[in-house]
Structure 1
């Protein structure tokens, strides 16, 4: 006989929040039944309206906070509760860091079966606002009103805004200039439902160390009418270096197409992480928080503990950010990345920094790494992996196990897939020594981790 849930839709209940979920919702139980509540914080007692009931869980909406958390704060942004960009603005920053440390520890234990390893306190930012060097603003229309902002949580509904407190302040000025330009010249934004309209997104990038600025308009077409008028306005902004168009006429959720047209200036901007200079195009993967990125890379360098004689393999190397950082201390660094343009950028970045002990291969890591092992008999001393959220491909992990490096340094942006991958390495002769969370994305539920893994001899 089917057992009914102890809660019903549109009914009101009293419950206590005990944890925070991966999407930032408060988590509690009513008669042992899990309920997710947007905006709830651990320790709070709330009155909740149940809005959706599923087989094993329900979702609720706060009606009243009966006992607030001592760590609840007023969000600095007025639209934090509706915009999908931030999930934790209502929680004090100190507690955000503690929660992220706890999240990594729980995932290692529950998913990876890794116990007895200390997860160090999360390294936080000096200032957890205005830290992003890259913004992507969707452009649309609602009731004939131009909308530029961010998508609401778990939707493609645009929350219109003139200010984002996570982005560099110059973005506020850029968005206003483009908003006025599109309105003045009656240029239509793209509409997903009809696939009509021209302007899809506004992408901005800022070199934190150099002050150089890039503006990229993503178009459902090739040309922007009256583009010279927009260029004249944007290039007055101090630091403006690159104004480009990106062509994307596909029916897709992918923001950028492959074709770039320069309207004014250079096709790239420059920035530094530590002493290493990078050229960054619209299509380049480059960490959005350069100050914390330097923290991550310095920690990776510390864990690698290079003496100058090591061969280092950097898997998922992107534009060579970690590779070139490590090359300062290694005999040789070999980087592998699937995106051809990223490898071109990596080689160029090595050239402009005068780094001659780094070489790069383009292709899928799960194909290139076994090839390097089998055909070149490559046996690196240290392997660094910085995979996407899905973690390492199992063939990559198997080849790491065969290569038997002294150390693996794993830089992770998802502690769940990190835990899964560490479990595989642990079962095959490796030991997790240190785990260091780093807050790369303040006010959100995301956390980076740097992990030292050593071979058990």
Structure 2
């Protein structure tokens, strides 16, 4: 009787769902032929079936495809690519053997020049649709110039940090990347966007762990020791750091492990342990200790030297970081006399770049450990014209103003959620001559530019920079000047 009631409830729910989206030209499991007319922000092809939008992973604009409908909503649905009837000239064969399983890259099937064009268009679409801003079509001095995306001459092997989850598959320890849209780990021996040395370290650490019988963490049960293997490499120095993230304080046979790593991977100068006992998606826990070697490794961006600790944030593509920060300095228009505020300074990467060309730089960051790193990095480079303070930008910057600190230029490089509304208000109150906005999210960039434009600024130029080739992410550097 209970089963019959449950079945009746289920049929009623399904009928209600079908009624809610009645009138759609397709239903789940339908196979249809569609033309792909664009790509969304997730890199999925966008097609129409009798006017109804379908998103198709792996399809490119200009292609005709036979697809199977997987899921429908009122305004749009998702479909699986079954067959290409017409192929884009920009389509290439993805060189990565696990590309279609792994969720790390989304655009390897699109030629690199096509990726750069799409990323620029993605920025243009966000500015126009979300920010209601006017983008110049030709040489229009009253509209925003969005320049061609600055790409890499060699868009592979660019990442200096690997964060590899470890788990169990068929009773064996595996480490790789999560399958697209899941937490199932695809065991991986090589990643074409990782520095080759990172691949080597991850492979050897997995091999040593298996040899020593180290247990892998199981997300469902919360049991097992090794959760993540994190590897950092200095592109300019070649120094490497290994961080073992564990679900417990003690590592069995720790000395054997350390000796094996030192013997088999001589480039490693720092071996750390981070303890994370919580059942969470967050990689790091609160406790980090050095098991062997140094607390930091060093690397350079341009002429600036940085100390990188186990927990410190450092841009993962140092080649393109130099390009991005060079553009930031250019847009700041520094002559050596200016006072600059860096409103999300992190470990001081942008601040120290600016300090080479400015009279005084003030950096603010809410993470205390990052400010410790920033001060250390300033000292490391002998820069005494930089002051760093812990706190929220929207609280610290007004207090600086009360101390008669006036900024000629304010630089912001916020997280994906964009600038805090109070920070934008603070910028408008301080009225710097220029604002340089570095963004990793075109949507929140467009939203914030609209606020600054409404408050008396004009966006002159936006420069997209490809920090993460073969993924859908794009970084931007934007110049705003105060209206007279």
TM-score category, normalised to shorter length: over 0.9
Distance, in Å, in 2 between the alignment partners of 1:282 and 1:24 is 32
Distance, in Å, in 2 between the alignment partners of 1:157 and 1:267 is 32
Query: Which residue, out of 323, 327, 343, partners 2:355?
Result: 327
Structure 2 matches for 1:192-341, cutoff 5 A?
Answer: 192-236=219-263, 237-341=265-369
User: Residue 427 of structure 2: SS of its match in structure 1?
Assistant: helix
Query: Which residue, out of 422, 442, 448, partners 1:421?
Result: 448
Moved more, 308-317 or 145-154: 145-154
Alpha-carbon deviation of 1:205? 0.5
Distance, in Å, in 2 between the alignment partners of 1:154 and 1:364 is 34
Aligned to 2:132: 113
Q: TM-score, normalised by structure 2?
A: 0.93
Does the aligned pair in 2 maintain the 1:431–1:453 contact within 8 Å? yes
Alpha-carbon deviation of 1:264? 1.2
Alpha-carbon deviation of 1:379? 2.1
Aligned to 1:21: 40
Does the aligned pair in 1 maintain the 2:120–2:146 contact within 8 Å? yes
Does the aligned pair in 1 maintain the 2:336–2:359 contact within 8 Å? yes
User: Residue 145 of structure 2: SS of its match in structure 1?
Assistant: coil
Does the aligned pair in 2 maintain the 1:439–1:448 contact within 8 Å? yes
Does the aligned pair in 2 maintain the 1:379–1:404 contact within 8 Å? no
User: Residue 235 of structure 1: SS of its match in structure 2?
Assistant: helix
Distance, in Å, in 2 between the alignment partners of 1:26 and 1:157 is 25
Distance, in Å, in 1 between the alignment partners of 2:40 and 2:295 is 40
Aligned to 1:135: 162
Cα deviation digits, residues 402-454 of structure 1 (max 9, x gap): 00000000000001000000000000000001110000000000000000000
Cα deviation digits, residues 376-410 of structure 1 (max 9, x gap): 24320000000000000000000000000000000
Structure 2 matches for 1:173-188, cutoff 5 A?
Answer: 173-188=200-215
Distance, in Å, in 1 between the alignment partners of 2:314 and 2:347 is 7
Q: Does residue 404 in structure 1 map to residue 431 in structure 2?
A: yes
Alpha-carbon deviation of 1:369? 2.3
Query: Which residue, out of 24, 34, 40, partners 1:5?
Result: 24
Aligned to 2:181: 154
User: Residue 175 of structure 1: SS of its match in structure 2?
Assistant: helix
Specify the structure having the higher radius of gyration (Cα). 2
Alpha-carbon deviation of 1:179? 1.4
Alpha-carbon deviation of 1:113? 1.0
Aligned to 1:351: 379
Q: Does residue 431 in structure 1 map to residue 458 in structure 2?
A: yes
Cα deviation digits, residues 74-133 of structure 1 (max 9, x gap): 001011111111000000000000000110011011111110312100000111110000
Q: Does residue 456 in structure 1 map to residue 456 in structure 2?
A: no
Does the aligned pair in 2 maintain the 1:343–1:360 contact within 8 Å? yes
User: Residue 173 of structure 2: SS of its match in structure 1?
Assistant: strand
Alpha-carbon deviation of 1:229? 2.0
Long gaps (5+) in structure 2: 1-18, 135-142
RMSD over aligned Cα atoms: 1.1
Q: Does residue 92 in structure 1 map to residue 119 in structure 2?
A: no
Does the aligned pair in 2 maintain the 1:378–1:403 contact within 8 Å? no
Distance, in Å, in 2 between the alignment partners of 1:391 and 1:440 is 18
Distance, in Å, in 2 between the alignment partners of 1:165 and 1:284 is 24
Does the aligned pair in 2 maintain the 1:34–1:56 contact within 8 Å? yes
Alpha-carbon deviation of 1:183? 1.4
Distance, in Å, in 1 between the alignment partners of 2:79 and 2:479 is 40
Alpha-carbon deviation of 1:364? 1.7
Aligned to 2:68: 49
Cα deviation digits, residues 293-350 of structure 1 (max 9, x gap): 0000000000101011111000110000000000011110000001101000000000
Aligned to 2:370: 342
Aligned to 1:447: 474
Q: Does residue 393 in structure 1 map to residue 393 in structure 2?
A: no
Aligned to 2:192: 165
Does the aligned pair in 1 maintain the 2:198–2:233 contact within 8 Å? no
Structure 1 ranges of 4+ moved more than 6 A: none
Aligned to 2:16: none
Long gaps (5+) in structure 1: none
Aligned to 2:79: 60
Alpha-carbon deviation of 1:54? 1.4
Query: Which residue, out of 102, 105, 112, partners 1:83?
Result: 102
